[in-house]
Structures are given as C-alpha cells and as structure tokens.
Structure 1
Amino acid sequence: MTSPFTRRALLIGALPAAALGLSACGSSQASSTASASGSAGGSASATSESTAAASASASASASATPSSSASETASASATADDGYVGFRLNREVPGAGTATLYTDFQCPYCAKAEPKFEEAAKKLDGVLNVTARHMPLSMHANAVPAALAVQAAEAQGKHLEMADKLFATQNDWKGIKERDKLRTLFNDYAKELGLNVEEFDKVLLASDTVKPIQRDYEHAVKIGVKGTPTFAVNDKVIEGLDSSSSVDELVSTFKREAGVK
C-alpha cells in the first residue's frame, strides 16, 4: 500500500489518474496493497508507505485544533508520545491507556465500525481515552478530500458530526470525480450541520488542513496499521477486532489490552 499523499492536487483542481491494485478496506477483512491514487485539498507529496516518509507542504492554519466552540468531550489534540493522539471521543483521563480507531471515511467497513466505537467510547468514559485518527487509503480516490472535510468541520467544533454525515452518505460522494462537484457537496453538508460555510470552505482548501491527516497516516504506518478499520491500544495494533465486533467486545478488549479490570 502506497501513501495517498503521493500526488499534488487541489480539491478544486483536476483529479489525478489513479492506478489501483489489490486491496480491501478492513485490516481484518483483508490487507491493503493499493498503489497510488490522487490526494486532494492541499499541497501534499510523499514517498511510499514503506518508508513512512510522506510529508505535506503547507502554509495556512486552523484545522489541527477545533475552535473554542468544540465540546470538552471532543477536543482534537492532546499530548502523546508522538505529540498528538487524534480526535477524542470521550473525556481525557490523564495517565490512562488510549484506544484508537484508524479510519478511512470512504471505507464501508469503517462506516459499520464507527457507531460501535463511539458507543464503546461512552462506556469507557472516565476509564480509558478513546480517540480516532485518519488513515486514508490510496485505493479510495476521495478518502483524503473526505478527511479534509472532517478537519474543516473540526475547526468549528463539528468533527464528529461531519464524520458521521460522510459515513452515512458514502454512496453519494465516493464516486465523484469532479472536484468542484465534490467541494460543493461537502459545503452543502457543512450547511446542513449548521456550520459557517464560508469559513468551512476556506479551511477545506487551506494547505495546512492536510497536516493532521498526514500526521495520523504516518503514525499509523509507523505502528503497523495496514488497513481500515484498525484498532490499537497504546499504539499496539489489536488483532481479532473488526467491523463485525460488538460494542462489548471492543470494550472488554480495550480494557484487557490497557490492563484495566
């Protein structure tokens, strides 16, 4: 599997041709070995995943942390060994273990896993930190643009709302090749969610918006994530969990791996 950041393209620009190889979304359903597809939404370039050396060029601001309107239980950034843990789904518990879902918004298995992961986060509130991080796969042409839309919504405190919206509407946007059309649709979603559309669109197109996505992707590669959805506890990839796992299975496994009774 190669990095989805191997090409430069603006969201409003032309879609680079994608050369797709054998792959699948779920790491437990099958491992991904897709070759490069186009990224979007900022200047981004990278080497192959095997070296984990992908890096985004950037110059703007805003999307790595939410606005002051973001809820306390869903703050975007926090300190971890790599300096960032992704998006929080429950209250931070200093010193506790962290369960993380690596997700791709175009992945149908992630769409099935996300609601159960959110429910597990509620059950683990005050016990474990539960977070989500980006892992856009190169096999999905619109995975990076979708992740950018989530980051643009996060700047106004609506990360989770946009994520849920994109999962619910995957079939409506996954096949869109025209970047203007994709941008318009994402702006429509922002309006539905009560966001300031002008500000959303500005962040959507800002070159810096790709940075947290890039950071999550590189960290995923570093710890051995090979597909989505993938669950990890304290940066250890957990085998045996996938989109078919129940909420109770997620909770019990996360506790066990974190050493919590």
Structure 2
Amino acid sequence: MARSLLERLRTESGAALLLIAVTLFALLWANSPWSGAYEHLWETPVLVEIGDLAFDMDLHHWVNDGLMVVFFFVVGLEVRQELALGSLRQRRQRLLPVVAGTVGVLVPAGIYLAVAGRVAPEGWGVVVGTDTAFLLGVLALVGPTMSSQLRVFLLTLSVVDDFLAVTVIGVFYSEGVRLTPLLIAVACLGALWLLGRMRAWRSGPYVVVVVVLWGATVQAGIHPSIAGMLAGLLVPAVATRRDDVVAAKGLFRAYWQSPDASMARDVRLGLARSISVNQRLHEVLRSPVSLVVVPVFVLANAGIDLRGGALGAALASSVTWGVVAGLVVGKLVGIGAGTWIALRLRLGTLPDGVGPGSVLGGAALSGIGFTVSLLVAGLAFDDPAHTQAATIGVLISLVLASLLGWALFSLARVRWGETSADLPVQLDPPVDTHRDHVRGDDDAAHTVVEYLDFECPFCARATGMWKDLHEHFGDRVRYVVRHLPLDDVHPHARLAAVAAEAAHRQGRFWEMHDRLFAHQSHLTADDLREHAAAVGLDLDRFDADVADEALHARVEADVDSARASGARGTPTFFLDGHRHRGPHDAGTLIAALEASERAAAADPARRRRS
C-alpha cells in the first residue's frame, strides 16, 4: 500500500492533491488552538557557521531561501532541456509560447496595478508566475483525458512565466546588495559555463559549484531563486548518443562475465556517462522536489490565521482582489490574446491536436500562481496585512482558476467537439499485407508496426527488438515497418528509404533493411549502390527504380500515414493498431502485448472487436 501511495503521489494529479492536502492542513493548524506551535516552528532560529561565514536565518527563511532554490534549480534544468532537446529547440516552436507567455505576464501585472496599484503597487510581482506542478496536476484532473500535446504547450508557457518571475524576484525584490559575494556568485556562474564547455560529465563538480553559488547569493543580499534558475540553465543537456549506450552495454557484458566491485563501478560510471548530467540531476531531484520541497514550502507559507476578522479584512482589501483579478482574469486574457497575436502574425502554430478551446482552458489554469506567488507575496510587502491579503488572494485564485479551467474544457468539449488535446493514437491506415512490409505470419494475433528512419540510431533493428519479440511470442506476432525519414536531422534517411523500396521491387526489402541499419553511417548515393550490390540487386534496375517518382511517392505516403497516426519521431510503435507510449525496449513491448491479451481474455466484447 505504501508503495502504491508513493507511486500515486509521483503522478502529476497525485502531486496536486498532495499540495491541496498540505494547504488545508496548514490552514487548519494555523487556525487551531495549536496555532502558536505553528508560528514558533517557523520562527525557530537556525545558525550555520563556516569559519567567519555565518548563515543566521529562522526556519521559514531556510525553507524560502534554501529549499526553494532546489525547486528553481530543477525548473532551470527543465528549461535547458526544452531549449536543447524539446519544445523550445526550434524557432517556430518557441516563438508562439514565448509571445503568449510574455503577454501572459504583462497583462496580469497591469490588471493588478489597475486594481491595487494605489494601495500596494509593489505587489505586482505576485501575479506574474505560474505554478507548473500545480497547473499540470489540475490539468490531469479537469482537462481532456488525452492532453499530451496541450501539456507540452502549457509546460513551455509556464517555463516562460517562471523564468520571468524569477527574474522579477532577483531584480525587484533584492535589497542591500554586497559586491564581494556578488562577484563570487558571478564567478560560480562562469565556472558552471566552463564545466559545460569542457563537457564535464560527472555531477559532483556541478553540485559543489551550485552550493557555493547559493551561499554567495544569500550573502550578497540577492534572492537565491535567480541563482537556482541560472544554475539549472547552465547545466548542459544533450541527446544520448548511440555509441555511449553501446559502450555501456560492453561494460555490463564484462561485469556479467566477471562480477566484482571494480567492474560494477565501471558499469555505474559508464551508465552515468551515457546520460547528460542535466538529465541525471533532474531525475534525482524531481521526486524530492515534488514530494518534499514544495509541500514543505506550502506548509510554511499557506498557514494564515483567519480568526479575529482577518478574513473579512482581507476580503475587503484591494490587494486580495488585485491578486485574484491579475491571476484569474489576467492570465486567461493575457495568454489567450498572446496566442491569438502570435497566430495572426504567423509566428508559429498550435501543437497538433490542440484547439482554441483547450488553449483557453489551459490559460485559465495558468492563473494558479501558488508556489511562485506565495514566495513573491512574502518578499514584496512590508505590511504584514498586505502579505496576508495577497496570500488569501493566491488561495482564492487557485480555486477560481481551477473551476474556470474545468468550465472552459467542458465548453470546448460540448461546443467545439474538442474531446482531446493530443495527437491521434490509432494507426491510419491499418496494415495492408499487399502494400506493407511484413515479417511473420499474416494471421498472427499481434501486430507491431514501427515507423523508422534508417539514420536513427535508436530504431528497433539496432536494439534487436524484433528478435526478442519473435522469440517470446513465436508465430503469434508479426512485425511491420513504415518509413518516417526525419529530414531535418537525418539528411540521408529519405533516399535510404527509397533505396529500400527499390530493393523491394527485386524481392530484397528485408535484406536491404538489415544492411542499411548495419551501415548507418554510410548512406550516401554511392554507398546505397554498394549496399544494393552486396544484397544481390540488379544495379541498372536499382538505379532506375531509385529515380522513379512512384517510389518517392510511396515513401511520402508512409510519412503522411505517420502524421495521420500521431507519429512525430522515430522509432514510434503501434501495438495492435494503438500508438505505444513510453519506453520501447523489447521487455516493455512484450509486457504491453501480454497486458492486452489479459484484457481481451477478461472482456469477451473487446476480444470480438479485436
């Protein structure tokens, strides 16, 4: 049960429910007969001395200025991943969310100033950020059942919001800056950049520099959240290279043959070297941040004593309603208008499968400022009453933004038919044995379709997936391949696909298929003729077929099929007609097919449909 609960909390919806529970607990504690214990806990002084260097803060400040740096460091790691490998990699991919996110910061700040600017103008920073974890968690609860594409779009938006929010914190809410520690902090940032340029792959040096950077920013009088974000941005994220994976596999083979401590150490280091330090640090810190750091921060900041007329005073304060209007109305209007402007200026396009109704629903959920907003509320105001009013406004906004998002998603589903915000999941068109390339029995119980790219180092042929599947299932499984050359990253893949189709005309498709994957680094036109000769093709006929526009159209038809089926990268697998998500190793695919068999056995109607 404990393991099941932990796994549930690690999901986005589970993390959101955890934060709601912690918020309610903090409010109950702060308004209970034991409220004094709550206040005294966070006022507990904690002194850490290292020689003449002293960090003397109460527990509340250690949480806000210490633990939360880890949160912003993880955000920085995620931003770097998106810039290097994800949705911010290409200009047209990042311009639309950058414009929408920027307008989604300016409009809420303007609305806050219009409502509460005369009373407490310094609080405008409370409404600029979005709580990424809470947003995605509530999306999983109230959004479309399938919303992966919308999730990526909103994640990119929140990355922009968080980056701007942290910049606001560091620039506008830091006081009494000291020069010497500031120079040390700048030197630490330079050291992180240098480690990245040197391609240092061990995580230890990065961690040491980040700790020193944190201490320097605290001593300099700058809020360390900006140090955490910048540090995460400077930790390099690169795609895993096939040769590093092969090297790690060789080390494990050696350990298999000679299992001792030194070989085990080599395997651990080889595995670490094959994955970027950014991804390793993110994987290590992600669960502690969502399960410990953020809940502890919420516990320390959400406990507001509402007794003695405090709630009534807050509800009568323009600060409260400035925060509510800025987050709930400002985010919806700002992100909605920013998206519309970017689309009108043709700066980008919405992700496939995401409609305008889903964008508005996601924009409403972006009004969940929560973690970032609570942090800024604690920094922005000198008057405790304003801090309390802003905190209550943040909590009210959490409820209203969630309800507004649910209402807009419901409207989008009923009015505009937006039942999903994701790519298609059904194979389109279905397998045609007269057209598709099939290995195995035509009457097999299971069909595995792979969209592949002959230059992709991670496609199934290179990992031996088909061999393992066939050994496990025998004649109960068949394997089908379709082409999806990724022209922007693999310049030779399309011609290689045409060459494989030319080999098919001479009855040698699978021989050519295996040959091309065995020589992925040699796929030029001359190389392809050598491969054709090696598999026994008539070269004159091969040359004529490669120039035949019908074969080029055949490959393009597979690309169109991939687009219609929701395949955007390689390898992408379809198991019995449904797009597979997650790891694509043989063990995972075998487990997925066996689960399908068990479900079909338990559901006769499903078995008949299959």
Both structures adopt the same fold (TM-score exceeding 0.5): yes
Match among 452, 456, 477 for residue 107 of structure 1 = 456
- The alpha-carbon deviation at position 211 of structure 1 amounts to 2.6
Q: Check conservation: 1:104, 1:143, Cα contact below 8 A.
A: yes
Aligned in 2, Cα 1:121/1:149: closer, same or farther, shift over 3 Å? farther
Secondary structure of the 1:130 match is strand
Q: Are residues 1:170 and 2:516 paired?
A: no
Q: Distance in 1 between matches of 2:502 and 2:555?
A: 11
Match of 1:209 among 547, 551, 563: 551
Q: 1:193 aligns with which of 535, 546, 568?
A: 535
AA in 2 matched with 1:154: H
Q: How many residues align?
A: 185
- Alignment match, 1:222: 564
- Matched letter for residue 449 of structure 2: T
Query: Which runs of 5 or more structure 2 residues have no equivalent in the other structure?
Result: 1-82, 92-348, 353-428, 602-610
Superposed CA deviations along residues 42-65 of structure 1, whole A, max 9, x for unmatched, are xxxxxx9x88xxxxxxxxxxxxxx
Match of 2:464, SS state, is: helix
Structure of larger gyration radius: 2
Residue type matched to 2:447 in 1? T
Contact 1:110 1:229 in 2 (8 A): yes
What corresponds to 2:125 in structure 1? none
In the alignment, structure 1 residue 147 sits paired with structure 2 residue 497:
yes
CA contact (8 A) 2:446 2:575 kept: yes
The SS at the match of 2:521 is helix
Q: What does 1:91-106 correspond to in 2, within 5 Å?
A: 91-93=441-443, 96-106=445-455
Answer whether contact 1:89 1:118 (CA < 8 A) is retained: no
Distance verdict in 2 for CA 1:33–1:127, change over 3 Å: farther
Q: Deviations over 1:168-227 (max 9, x none)?
A: 111223xxxxxxxx3222111111111111111111111101232122211111111121
* Alpha-carbon distance change, 89 to 142 in structure 1, aligned in 2, over 3 angstroms: same
Partners of 2:483 and 2:558 in 1: how far apart? 5
1:159 maps to 2:159: no
Residue in 2 aligned with 1:251?
Answer: 590
* 2:581 equivalent to 1:239: yes
Q: Is the 8 A contact 2:469 2:477 kept in 1?
A: no
Separation (CA, whole Å) in 1 of partners of 2:89 and 2:559: 15
Looking at structure 2, the residues matched to 106 and 31 of structure 1 have their Cα atoms a distance apart, in angstroms, of 22
Query: RCO higher in 1 or 2 (8 Å CA, sep ≥ 6)?
Result: 1
**In structure 1, C-alpha distance between the alignment counterparts of 2:594 and 2:88, rounded to whole Å:** 28
| Rounded Cα–Cα distance in structure 2 between residues aligned with 1:86 and 1:34 | 33
Q: Which amino acid aligns with 1:203?
A: D
Is residue 137 of structure 1 aligned with residue 137 of structure 2? no
TM-score by length of 2: 0.27
* Kept after mapping to 1: 8 A contact 2:573/2:580: yes
Does the aligned pair in 1 maintain the 2:430–2:577 contact within 8 Å? no
User: In the TM superposition, what are the counterparts of 1:46-125 in structure 2 within 5 Å?
Assistant: 81=430, 86-93=436-443, 96-110=445-459, 113=462, 115-121=464-470, 123-125=472-474
Whole-angstrom CA distance in 1 between matches of 2:549 and 2:456:
24
Work out the CA distance in 2 between the residues paired with 1:127 and 1:164. 22
The answer as to whether partners of 2:455 and 2:493 remain within 8 angstroms in 1 is yes
Query: Which one has a larger percent helix, Structure 1 or Structure 2?
Result: 2
Q: Measure how far apart 1:97 and its partner are.
A: 4.0
Instruction: Give distance in 2, aligned partners of 1:32 and 1:218.
Output: 24
Aligned partners of 2:513, 2:90: CA distance in 1, in Å?
23
- Contact kept in structure 2, 1:137 and 1:143, CA below 8 Å: yes
Letter in 1 for 2:537: L
Partner letter of residue 108 of structure 1? Answer: P
The residue identity in structure 1 corresponding to 2:459 is C
Q: Secondary structure at the match of 1:239?
A: coil
Shift of 1:126: 2.8
